[in-house]
Structure formats: structure tokens, C-alpha cells
Structure 1
Amino acid sequence: MARGRLPGYADQLDLILEHAARLFARRGYPATTMNQVAEACGVSKATLYHYYRDKYALLVSIAEGHVSRLQGLVEEVDADATLAPERRLRELIARLVGEYAGAQDAHRVLTEDVKFLEEGDRERILGKERQVVASFAAAVVALRPDLKEAAMAKPLTMLLFGMVNWMFTWVKPEGPLDHAALAPIVADLFLGGLPAVQAAAPPAAPGG
């Protein structure tokens, strides 16, 4: 007979994932045990296993949950046909920064612990990540169509992600600028520099 869901099941799932992500981010996935996750959550190990069969299942859920949220916010922005190209990219940046503000541990897990995923899980999760990058690259191309032929849209997108991805290493909650204040600054820096980028000639074909 299948076990029923405990009261507050969804809330308990969120709590477990939050604490597991914090432990993975700070101690590293290999060094974290299910006992430590259970202790951090204030539950018994038996209760923890009611939700997740093992530590690996936690890793998959954290990484896939984070990238799926990123994918969802990109799809929401892309679905708004009223947005002009610059407004679209600004909205994408604002939504990305806003998501990272509350998911610093999950983002670090996705960045640093994806190598511990089995091939099928890793490819599925990285595939979603590539879709997020592709949406940003398309927004960049909408502003600079010439960058597509020069194959520079993705590199520029990764430079943009570089500004955002590592905010968690230096932005302090008690500091003068929070994520909401920094999002338009990131957009201004990127959009201010984008017109100055020189589109390199596409690489010559072999033997050409």
C-alpha cells in the first residue's frame, strides 16, 4: 500500500530542499550526509526518507528545480508580445537577478555540483539551462542582428550572465545596494556597452 502524503507535504519539501541546498553550497555535495540534512531540517532521518530516497535525489531536485524556475520566467517574458527589444532584455535581466536573489544556494549547487549528476540527468538539466541562454541570446540579437552572423550573441550573453551569476559572492543583504537596485545597473552596463561591440567577421570556411 502506498504511503500517504504527510500534512504540509509541499511546505516540508520546500524546507528540505532549502536546507539541503544550503548544506551542499557550503559543505559541498560529497561531504554532506542525509543525517546532516535531517538535522538541519529538524526532522528524523526516517521522515526525510519519506520525501527523498537518497542524497542524489535531493541534488537532482535542487538543480532541476532552480533551472526550471529560470526557464519559466524566461518563457513568461518571451510570451509578452508587447515588449520592445530593449524592454524585453531589461525585463529578462530583472527577472533573472530577482530569481537569483532568493536562490543563491541553489544556484551554487547548479554551478558547482552538476558534475555529480548522472549523464541522463545532467544532460536534461543542462539542456534546460541552454534554453535559458538561447532566449537571452535571441534578445541580444533582436537589438544587434549583425551579431548573429558573427556568432557573438552567445559569448555576449555569457558575459552578461557572468555579471549576474556571481553576485551571491559579494552582494550583502545589509549593503547599500540590493538585487532589485542592481538589476537596472546591470542592464545599463550591458546595454550601454552593446552598441560599441564590433561584430567580428565570421570565421572562414576550412580551405577557403
Structure 2
Amino acid sequence: MARGRSAGYEDQRELILERAAHLFAKQGYTAASMNEVAEACGLSKPALYHYFRDKYDLLVHIAEGHVSRLQLLVAEVESLGLPPEQRLRTLIQRFVLEYARAKDAHRVLTEDVKFLTDEDRARILGSERAVVAHFSGAIGEHWPQVAGARLAAPTAMLLFGMINWMFTWFRPEGSLTYEDLAPMVADLFFGGVPAMRLPQAPQDPA
């Protein structure tokens, strides 16, 4: 009879992924080694291979796990049945806080996705696009004129441009925390979208 996994197996896997994400974010995926991951986790290298096949396996699990959590977050907000503005504000604020919690995994997803195989990259980026599409739908629902001008998706990408790169400059050790910043991002977005000048529709030559 096959021996079952120990009660702490999944907890140990999550710890390894967290430590590996930190190393990859700090040093870069190519520079970090399995020896360093093992050392960071307090494991021997053979013990590390009991949980993950190789460094590439770690990369896939970090990137896919992060996107899966974002998809779950979207589903949770959707289940609340909020009106359009509150739904979008809640999405923005929760994503800011999730990125703060998982900033290492987010950096890995942002910077190291290029090291994935075509198949793995297509699958993970497809899930990421589904998340963006949900934001686009929420934007279009709240601002029908933006959807009518076919600008909901570009507007969503501008929003993600604000959120995605916060980890490159924001230092929560200062006077602001991520909890302070999250509603500020929402306010800035909601204050700015109505000021957008929508491009003129092309004239019909006929």
C-alpha cells in the first residue's frame, strides 16, 4: 500500500514556494539555485526534490499559483453581488492588498514569465487575460461610454499599469501602508476615467 503524505506536506510546499519566490524576485530566476532554495527552507537538496522536480517546476507553481489566487479573488468579489462602482472599487482594493501580500510571486510572474515554455506561458497568461477581461467588463458596466468606444480593455490595462508596478517604488515602511494606498488607487482611477477624452469615431467615407 502506498504511503500517504504527512500532515504538513502541503504546508511545507507552500513554504518552499514562498522562499523560492523571494529568491527569484531578489536575484532573478536564472541566478538563483536549488541549493540556495534548499538552504532558505532549511532543507537538504534531496529533501527539496521530494517536493518539487526542479527549479523550473518551482517557477511554474509560483506563477500559476499567483494567477490562481487572483482568479479566486475575482470570483469572491463577484459572489458579493455588488453594484458596479462598489464592485470595481472592491476589486481594485483587494488586488492592491493581494499584490502586497504576494509581491515576490507577483514580481516573478511579471519578470520571469519569459522563461516558461510556450505551453506553460500560454496557459498562465490565458488565465491572466481572463482576470483582465473581468476588470474590463466591470469598467464597461460602470462606464458604458468607455465600452461603447471599445476602450474598456485599454482602460483596464492602464489600471493594471498603476497596480502592477507599485512593488518597484512603494516602501510600506514609510508613512503610508498598502491599506492606505489601496483606496487612493481606486479614487485616482474613478476620478480620472471620467476626464478621458474618447477618440472620435472614424468618419464613414460613404
TM over 0.5: yes
| Corresponding letter in the other structure for 1:91 | T
Counterpart in the other structure of 1:151: 150
| Corresponding letter in the other structure for 1:195 | P
Within 5 A, what are the aligned runs for 1:82-121? 83-121=82-120
Counterpart in the other structure of 1:25: 25
Within 5 A, what are the aligned runs for 1:55-94? 55-81=55-81, 83-94=82-93
Asked if the contact 1:97/1:183 (under 8 Å) is kept, the reply is: yes
| Corresponding letter in the other structure for 2:117 | E
What are the Cα deviations for residues 104-124 of structure 1, in whole angstroms up to 9, with x where unaligned?
Answer: 110000001001111111111
- For the residue of structure 2 that corresponds to 1:74, the secondary structure is helix
Report the alpha carbon displacement of residue 26 of structure 1 after superposing the two structures with TM.
1.1
Counterpart in the other structure of 1:122: 121
Counterpart in the other structure of 2:13: 13
What are the Cα deviations for residues 7-47 of structure 1, in whole angstroms up to 9, with x where unaligned?
Answer: 41121111100110011111111111111110111100111
Counterpart in the other structure of 1:190: 189
Specify whether residues 86 and 149 from structure 1 end up closer, same or farther in structure 2 by C-alpha distance, changes over 3 A only: same
Counterpart in the other structure of 1:41: 41
Asked if the contact 1:151/1:202 (under 8 Å) is kept, the reply is: no
Gaps of 5+ in 2: none
| Corresponding letter in the other structure for 2:143 | R
Aligned pairs, how many? 206
Counterpart in the other structure of 1:135: 134
| Corresponding letter in the other structure for 2:11 | D
Report the alpha carbon displacement of residue 171 of structure 1 after superposing the two structures with TM.
2.0
Normalised by the length of structure 2, the TM-score is: 0.94
| Corresponding letter in the other structure for 1:25 | A
| Corresponding letter in the other structure for 1:201 | Q
Relative to structure 2, which stretch is displaced further, 138-147 or 166-175? 166-175
Counterpart CA distance in 2 for 1:189 and 1:165 is 15
Counterpart CA distance in 1 for 2:115 and 2:202 is 35
Report sequence identity in percent: 63
Report the alpha carbon displacement of residue 75 of structure 1 after superposing the two structures with TM.
1.3
Specify whether residues 113 and 3 from structure 1 end up closer, same or farther in structure 2 by C-alpha distance, changes over 3 A only: farther
| Poorly superposed stretches of 4+, deviation over 3 Å | 1-4, 201-205
Gaps of 5+ in 1: none
Report the alpha carbon displacement of residue 176 of structure 1 after superposing the two structures with TM.
1.0
Give the superposed CA RMSD: 1.8
